[in-house]
Structure 1
């Protein structure tokens, strides 16, 4: 009985300590790791959120760039960090692709992390060259079914977001199109605009100038629901590919074991910060829509995306290295 009481007292003490730590959190600067170089999309999003969190929580949130291995270096550093709330990560959608591309990972996603909140999403627009005789998804699918492998699509490389987006369409629509990898997204978009390739899943910001000039024809958005970025553009889901939902995203995560009170405090601060009209407008200019959620929802979203990416990669014949 004595030991039981001592054990109960220890648990109670830990609970009080955790709560007290959260009440005083943060009491010193917090690092936000970024797995890519300064100036990129992940870095920009991290710095925007960091400034708002500083204003809200009265401690500096310092962005620390640790580029390399497609973001793995920074993500592994987070997995190994102390679960005290002073090391966070701006996690990009690309992190959910890595398990599909590598035989061995230095961490498990999302098990080795404490997802805190989604921050923004960015739907892709499916654009085709005007010479392709299709003005909507149904017409494009009809061409693909009549001539399997005839239509081709550009990407920024094997295992890229555009690659898996196209392969998800192939899988769900039961069609076959041919992959044409380029060195980058901008080169792929130009390749479609010049008629070298038939189509590409591109960010709205990358495609819009060529859409406005008539060199690209947009036919659908990749998100499950219509996007405010192009509100009149139908989605693949509503246009003959039910269940299709593919977007880029950024979110904030901590290491596994992060105290619940700290997760809750950070989630509330992030949700408040990025949902301000100022932040919504700033992200919108970058082709991103603010979208926050609960830690549980973000965890499940990451798990679902990892599973979807592995399935799409295997269907495309991509062998993990």
Structure 2
């Protein structure tokens, strides 16, 4: 072999060995840095992205929890509203954020329906976000403006059937809990209410109080004060049984529609790739805060329940929700392009 070729191969081998060592060192340094970040997490404020407008149940509950979460995590926890497209806008922001635990999102019932409801999604609900833990379960209540001449679920159904399409209903947006609950109600009762979507549960409640819409499956936390003042009338709760916050209000199933049930929920999601230790720390913080008796009592009085739970339990729950609402959306025939 010519001397020049021999020297060339020796140099090439030295360069390859150096490059290999550099890659190994870099990988180890990255792993160490990730481990160190997880051990020191959190080191700065955390954003909780609520993908709905202020005033809805998701917003109300997370703002109740935020101060205690700040105490638990030792860093300020900020609630930021990013409404739009039934939580898709806010959760897309979370999915595209750095997977470091400093931007977390709140998912709800719409998370299970959106992949089937919407033709195009900007993120993959099964791959781009990962579950941290369940936070709360929220009952909705079929509510009407006092001007609507119906004081029972049966009367409302009869009113709509006498004048098909004359009643409209609000929601927090296409694919929101209110929208899905009402469409399921329409499907099971053969009614023809007209949908009026808003950018959040808060604006939807405001429109109902103002008489701009006739009815709404409002979450109890966002509407209970209006029941007490007489500005709204509750006809039936969306759970299978009565809710302790409204003991005199029957369930929709009990009142007129056997088998009807639609439950809202809130859970914490983070971008895929977030270190397991960070996910565990967030889950621990939410589990401890949702177990505080004072907060549980406060939230229960609003018609919701703080639940907590493990990451694995919530992951299984989300998987069931995706399957359940995919089936329901197809049965009802909903589709948003």
TM-score, normalising length: structure 2: 0.69
CA contact (8 A) 2:237 2:252 kept: yes
Q: Deviations over 1:222-281 (max 9, x none)?
A: 124442322344434556756543233322211123333332222121111122133224
> Which residue in 2 is equivalent to 1:116?
132
Counting only pairs closer than 5 Å after superposition, residues 1-321 of structure 1 correspond to structure 2 as 21-36=37-52, 41-127=57-143, 131-132=149-150, 135=152, 154-156=169-171, 159-171=175-187, 173=188, 175-182=189-196, 184-188=204-208, 191=211, 197=214, 200-204=216-220, 207-208=223-224, 211-212=227-228, 218-237=234-253, 241=257, 243-284=259-300, 286-321=302-337
What CA distance in whole angstroms lies between the structure 1 residues aligned with 2:273 and 2:258? 37
Aligned length in residues? 302
Shift of the 38–158 alpha-carbon distance from structure 1 to 2, 3 Å rule, reads closer
Gaps in structure 2 of 5+ consecutive residues = 1-26, 199-203
What CA distance in whole angstroms lies between the structure 2 residues aligned with 1:151 and 1:95? 30
> Which residue in 2 is equivalent to 1:5?
none
User: Which shows bigger deviation, 13-22 or 176-185?
Assistant: 13-22
Per the TM alignment, residue 185 of structure 1 is displaced from its structure 2 partner at its CA by: 3.6
What CA distance in whole angstroms lies between the structure 1 residues aligned with 2:158 and 2:72? 53
User: Which shows bigger deviation, 235-244 or 284-293?
Assistant: 235-244
What CA distance in whole angstroms lies between the structure 1 residues aligned with 2:290 and 2:37? 25
CA contact (8 A) 1:36 1:43 kept: yes
What CA distance in whole angstroms lies between the structure 2 residues aligned with 1:213 and 1:54? 34
TM-score, normalising length: structure 1: 0.72
CA contact (8 A) 2:205 2:223 kept: no
Secondary structure in 1 aligned to 2:135?
Answer: strand
Per the TM alignment, residue 17 of structure 1 is displaced from its structure 2 partner at its CA by: 7.7
What CA distance in whole angstroms lies between the structure 2 residues aligned with 1:228 and 1:298? 25
Secondary structure in 1 aligned to 2:316?
Answer: helix
What CA distance in whole angstroms lies between the structure 1 residues aligned with 2:75 and 2:226? 43
Gaps in structure 1 of 5+ consecutive residues = 1-10
Secondary structure in 1 aligned to 2:193?
Answer: strand
Q: Deviations over 1:278-318 (max 9, x none)?
A: 32244346543322232233233333334444444444443
CA contact (8 A) 2:55 2:222 kept: no
Per the TM alignment, residue 34 of structure 1 is displaced from its structure 2 partner at its CA by: 3.3
Q: Deviations over 1:42-91 (max 9, x none)?
A: 44544443322221122233344445555433312221233332321133
Secondary structure in 2 aligned to 1:280?
Answer: helix
